[in-house]
């Protein structure tokens, strides 16, 4: 079985690129796998969509699997992605789309053009604005990270005795970095703690929100790493004690899944996207402060860390890749 994955790839600074990389590493054990890179930083138009479709079709695959998130396509013209699917439909391959966010009108058209659609959780399924006949849930995979905390801290120069809270991902209003700073301001009045932002920003020049966040981070003594590669990202995950993810808008979170794979307790927004995950869900800044204060206790961290690791092992990339291969086989026998 030959499968072509269409996704950001290579040097793209993008969570979808990381997702595809980890999926591809395991999926290649089950199928003949090719990747067709989608150049996310060139705002695509319909001509680009047709060109990309022709590249995928030229491989003559059995399955073409496209990774979709509104931010990596043209958010001002959903018809660009529909044009890609229409062009792919001219070939003999079955077309699968993974939706990394849902809740938009274009999904009715996507459902009509794809052979199967993958979402990551029940919240995404309930928000999907198209026919659900072709939609199934395959959870976001978790990479099992086994770097010892002590070794990671030595590599990064972090005091082994410090309580460190990590906030991971691109600095973005939707991810709530300003909320994280408000939480930290309250936490440090109660606990001797440090906070680190691990991640950069989507544009070289930044934006007003980013500048405000960075200025406030400096005032509070929060370390900001800027963009780091996958290996450094995992080292930071191993080094911190707790991950804080106060997202305002979320369909699924690769950051949360990565934290669970590292066996880290996660304090997150009380959002339905997290209802099936072992995270401490909080409604307010005060609840987040209290949750982080409780996790200053190593016993509490160990308990939540065990729950995190259990979930990650049940949803490892190896198991998620098997679910993908099973879907492909079913599509080809219809």
Instruction: Give residue 249's pLDDT.
Output: 87
Q: State the Cα–Cα distance between residues 314 and 257, nearest whole angstrom.
A: 12
Q: State the Cα–Cα distance between residues 132 and 110, nearest whole angstrom.
A: 11
Q: What average pLDDT does range 191-208 have in this prediction?
A: 85
For 213-246, what is each residue's pLDDT tens digit?
999 999 999 999 999 999 999 999 999 999 999 9
Q: Helix 317-333 to helix 15-27 angle, to the nearest 10 degrees?
A: 70
Q: State the Cα–Cα distance between residues 334 and 332, nearest whole angstrom.
A: 6
Q: Helix 298-314 to helix 254-261 angle, to the nearest 10 degrees?
A: 110
Sorting pLDDT into bands at 50, 70 and 90, what band is 75?
confident
For 304-329, what is each residue's pLDDT tens digit?
999 999 999 999 999 999 999 999 99
> Is residue 18 over pLDDT 70?
yes
Q: State the Cα–Cα distance between residues 168 and 152, nearest whole angstrom.
A: 16
Query: Token digits for 48?
Result: 């680009």
Q: What average pLDDT does range 282-306 have in this prediction?
A: 98
Q: What average pLDDT does range 256-270 have in this prediction?
A: 98
Please give the model's pTM, rounded to 2 decimal places. 0.93
Q: State the Cα–Cα distance between residues 168 and 249, nearest whole angstrom.
A: 15
> Is residue 203 over pLDDT 70?
no
Beta-strand pair 163-168/135-137? unpaired
Q: What average pLDDT does range 138-166 have in this prediction?
A: 97
Query: How would DSSP label each residue in 70-134?
Result: GGGS-TT-THHHHHHHHHHTTSSSEEEEEESS--STTHHHHHHH-SEEEESSHHHHHH--S--TT
Sorting pLDDT into bands at 50, 70 and 90, what band is 150?
very high
CB atoms closer than 10 angstroms to residue 150? 12
Q: What average pLDDT does range 272-290 have in this prediction?
A: 97
CB distance 96 to 65 below 8 Å:
yes
For residue 63, what is the enclosing H or E element?
A: strand 63-68
Q: What average pLDDT does range 282-300 have in this prediction?
A: 98
Q: What average pLDDT does range 109-123 have in this prediction?
A: 96
Sorting pLDDT into bands at 50, 70 and 90, what band is 204?
low
Q: What is the mean pLDDT of the chain?
A: 95
Report the largest interatomic distance among the alpha carbons of the chain, rounded to a whole angstrom.
62
CB atoms closer than 10 angstroms to residue 313? 15
Domains of the chain with bracketed CATH: 2-140+316-333 (3.40.50.2000), 149-314 (3.40.50.2000)
> Is residue 39 over pLDDT 70?
yes
> Is residue 40 over pLDDT 70?
no
CB distance 151 to 135 below 8 Å:
no
Instruction: Give residue 252's pLDDT.
Output: 93
Q: State the Cα–Cα distance between residues 190 and 113, nearest whole angstrom.
A: 54
């Amino acid at each position: 079985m030959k499968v072509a994955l269409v996704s950001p790839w290579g040097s793209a600074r993008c969570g979808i690129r990381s997702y595809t990389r980890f999926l591809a590493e395991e999926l290649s054990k089950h199928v003949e796998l090719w990747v067709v890179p989608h150049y996310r930083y060139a705002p695509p138009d319909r001509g680009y969509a047709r060109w990309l479709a022709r590249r995928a079709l030229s491989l003559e695959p059995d399955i073409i699997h496209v990774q979709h998130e509104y931010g990596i396509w043209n958010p001002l013209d959903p018809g660009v992605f529909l044009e890609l699917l229409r062009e792919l439909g001219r070939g003999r391959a079955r077309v699968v789309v993974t939706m990394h966010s849902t809740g938009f009108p274009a999904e009715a058209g996507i459902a009509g053009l794809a052979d199967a659609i993958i979402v990551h959780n029940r919240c995404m399924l309930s928000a999907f604005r198209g026919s659900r006949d072709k939609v199934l849930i395959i959870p976001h995979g978790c990479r099992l990270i086994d770097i010892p905390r002590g070794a990671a801290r030595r590599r990064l120069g972090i005091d082994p005795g410090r309580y460190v809270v990590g906030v991971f991902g691109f600095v973005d209003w939707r991810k709530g970095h300003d909320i994280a700073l408000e939480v930290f301001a309250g936490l440090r009045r109660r606990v001797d703690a440090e906070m680190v932002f691990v991640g950069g920003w989507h544009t070289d020049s930044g934006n007003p929100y980013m500048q405000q966040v960075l200025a406030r981070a400096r005032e509070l003594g929060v370390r900001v790493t800027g963009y780091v590669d996958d290996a450094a990202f995992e080292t930071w995950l191993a080094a911190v004690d707790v991950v804080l993810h106060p997202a305002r808008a979320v369909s699924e979170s690769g950051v949360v899944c990565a934290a669970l794979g590292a066996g880290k307790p996660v304090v997150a927004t009380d959002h339905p996207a997290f209802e099936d995950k072992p995270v401490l869900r909080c409604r307010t800044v005060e609840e987040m402060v209290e949750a982080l204060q409780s996790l200053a206790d190593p016993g509490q961290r160990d308990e939540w860390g065990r729950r995190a690791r259990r979930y990650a092992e049940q949803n490892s990339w190896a198991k998620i890749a098997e679910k993908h291969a099973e879907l492909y086989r079913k599509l080809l026998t219809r």
